[in-house]
Amino acid sequence: MGAGNAWACIASPVLITELAFPTQRAQFTSLYNSTWYLGSIVAAWTTFGTFRILNTWSWRIPSVIQGVPPLIQMCLILFFPESPRWLVDQGRDEEAIHTIAKYHAAGNRDDPLVAFEYDEIKEALRLEKEVAQTSSYKQIFTNKGNLKRMRIIIALAFFSQWSGNGLVSYYLNIVLEGIGITSEFDKNLFNGILQIYNLGTAYMGALVVERAGRRTLFLTSTGGMCLTYAIWTACSAAYQKSVVYVPGSEAAGNPEIQSANTNAGNAVAAMIFIYYGFYNIALSPLLVSYTVEILPFRIRSKGLMIMQLCVSASLVFNQYVNPIALDALEWRYYIVYTVWIGFEFVYLYFTIVETKGKNGHPLPLEEISALFDGDEVREDIAASSEAAVSEKPQKGDLAMMENGMGSSGNLVSEQQIERADQKL
């Protein structure tokens, strides 16, 4: 399961990015990573329905159900289109053009957008082959622009798991018992409702990414989480200090609460929802989509793999440190995360690069690369574009390009792309 999940996490966002309609690329890739909450909803409500079964099927049923989504995927993947970029790289240009036309131009091979995207892929692959000898992991950590990218990507990978969300994701049982919610029914119900809420707020962040901007979402997310965690910490402290146990129950090893500040406990429950609202607008949808879009083609899969490795490494901490620290420090452990999230805000404030285009329109991937690699790259892109536009049609060019769409260097204007997007 671990190997299959890892392969899917590398291949899926890359395929989505290369298949998505240009003006919808960021939203689709952001929705991809947000949709993991759909699995959380199934898991939460399955256990809500089975926890009262008084035999081994209480855990067997959730385990069996976990095998259903992979089975569905195995069937549906047979109908997936291949990436046009991969088809062109394999010399299967006609299939690539057919795929672009089918998904981006309603099957019209003569649409100028089809020629534009095909040209863009051909040029990207040509440049990739020119620098193939430098396409290595060493380049990722030696090139100035790539270092700037990796400082952001690695930080986001750890921030996505070290923002306090690991406490609720893995140890919600302990967190809820710390505010007096001890009923198995109440805990499972709380978890089920939380996962539905998480899916909705994550989708909201994914859908506004182009209008709000990546930098705005990241800073709003971390700033809101920090403030919420501070209130969460204060309310947890107020609740736990107010608890009065039934005399003699502590000595018996089964403490029963006689009285407590229930308002403080309810406030913590509310803060969990508010906290996740802030977390979900950025760290759920943008972790993958921002990583994919700022990485150039030649190192995109390598950089994505490094990000996933860092996420896995951060989960080791969550798995083995959080339960021990939470048991030893109780509400005081929340102070650690409050300070850490404050550090995240400062770090992202000075490192996150905005990749939103003007008026909510996405920047081309080449322009995003220029934001990290400097003005000289932008000049190279401009020079390459001018040379492509002035290039004359050559004998043997694809018939579709000879038929009113110009040579292999023709570009499509932003207005044409907008019109095609509206028509789609």
Q: Decide if pLDDT at 99 tops 60.
A: yes
Q: How confident is the model at residue 195 (pLDDT cuts 50, 70, 90)?
A: very high
pLDDT in tens, 129-168: 766 555 567 778 777 888 899 999 999 999 999 999 988 8
Q: Which of 235-244, 247-256, 306-315 has the lowest mean pLDDT?
A: 247-256
The residue-averaged pLDDT of 165-177 equals 87
* Closest residue by Cα to residue 233 from 336, 345, 342: 336
Q: How confident is the model at residue 395 (pLDDT cuts 50, 70, 90)?
A: very low
Strand partners, 362: 356
pLDDT in tens, 348-360: 999 999 988 776 6
pLDDT in tens, 46-57: 989 998 899 999
DSSP string, 320-355: HTHHHHHHHHGGGHHHHHHHHHHHHHHHHHHHPPP-
pLDDT in tens, 117-127: 888 788 777 76
Burial 218-236 (b: 16+ CB within 10 A, else e): bbbbbbbbbbbbbbbbbbb
The tokens 């990507």 sit on which residue? Answer: 153
Query: Given this model, what pLDDT does residue 132 score?
Result: 55
* 314 or 296, greater pLDDT: 314
Alpha-carbon gap, residue 65 to 42, rounded angstroms: 9
Q: Decide if pLDDT at 389 tops 60.
A: no
The tokens 């710390």 sit on which residue? Answer: 178
Contact between 135 and 128 under an 8 Å Cβ cutoff? The reply is yes
* 246 or 267, greater pLDDT: 267
Query: Given this model, what pLDDT does residue 407 score?
Result: 31
* 123 or 186, greater pLDDT: 186
Contact between 318 and 160 under an 8 Å Cβ cutoff? The reply is no
The residue-averaged pLDDT of 281-306 equals 87
Alpha-carbon gap, residue 205 to 360, rounded angstroms: 14
Query: Given this model, what pLDDT does residue 283 score?
Result: 93
Query: Given this model, what pLDDT does residue 396 score?
Result: 36
Alpha-carbon gap, residue 154 to 303, rounded angstroms: 9
Q: How confident is the model at residue 401 (pLDDT cuts 50, 70, 90)?
A: very low
Query: Given this model, what pLDDT does residue 46 score?
Result: 92
Contact between 345 and 223 under an 8 Å Cβ cutoff? The reply is yes
Q: Decide if pLDDT at 404 tops 60.
A: no
List the structure tokens of 161.
Answer: 């798991």
User: How many Cα atoms are found within 13 Å in the side-chain-facing hemisphere of 128?
Assistant: 18
Q: Which of 234-238, 294-298, 340-344, 387-391 has the lowest mean pLDDT?
A: 387-391
Alpha-carbon gap, residue 163 to 168, rounded angstroms: 11
Range with top average pLDDT, 10-19, 135-144, 282-291, 363-372: 282-291
Q: Decide if pLDDT at 402 tops 80.
A: no
Q: Decide if pLDDT at 88 tops 50.
A: yes
Query: Given this model, what pLDDT does residue 405 score?
Result: 37
Whole-number mean pLDDT of the chain?
A: 82
Query: Given this model, what pLDDT does residue 390 score?
Result: 45
Percent pLDDT > 70 in the chain is: 83
Tell me the residue type at 281: I
Q: Decide if pLDDT at 67 tops 70.
A: yes
pLDDT in tens, 214-232: 999 999 999 999 999 999 9
Phi, psi at 391, each rounded to 5°: -70, 135
